[in-house]
Amino acid sequence: MIKVLFVCLGNICRSPMAEGLFRDLIEKRDLADRVHIDSAGTHGYHIGAPPDERARQTMARHGVDIGAFEGRKVDVVDLDQFDYVLAMDRSNLRDLERLGGGSRPHVRLFLEFARASAEREVPDPYYGGPDGFEHVYALLEDAAAGLLADIEQRLNQP
């Protein structure tokens, strides 16, 4: 089982969007029994809260329901339990490094997997409008395709 954790600040916008999008990709590839996906925030502002309404609406427009997700805070144990701990931006990455992920190669920026975008940070859409959430979706979709290819390669190794 390969385990993937998406991490943003509060776990109500970017990381649940990434979790939902990637979960959908994994299910469509019939890999749900081989890949575990979760998301968390570096801060506990929204523990137990559902994703932001704008994030839910954006994902629904793309056929993905994230309404049942609940915010949680990343824990040091996550750094050992997940094969990929993927931060949305450099600030989240620094928080993960301070938590103990600094010397772990599987703790990295999610957009390192992007194929079309030159951006390396997923901007926080929280204080903006719907266009920001659509931009985030496009970035996540690009990186998710690259991550899926990486995972499929790992799964197919002898």
Q: Which residues are tagged catalytic?
A: 8, 14, 124
Q: How far apart are CA 43 and CA 8, in angstroms?
A: 9
Q: Residue written as tokens 């997997």?
A: 113
Q: Select from 154, 121, 149, 133 the least CA-distant residue to 7.
A: 121
- What crossing angle do the helices spanning 14-28 and 130-155 adopt, rounded to 10°? 40
First to last CA, the chain: 14
Angle at 58 between CA 22 and CA 85, to 5 degrees: 30
- The tokens of 66 are what? 């994230």
Q: Select from 139, 153, 33 the least CA-distant residue to 86.
A: 139
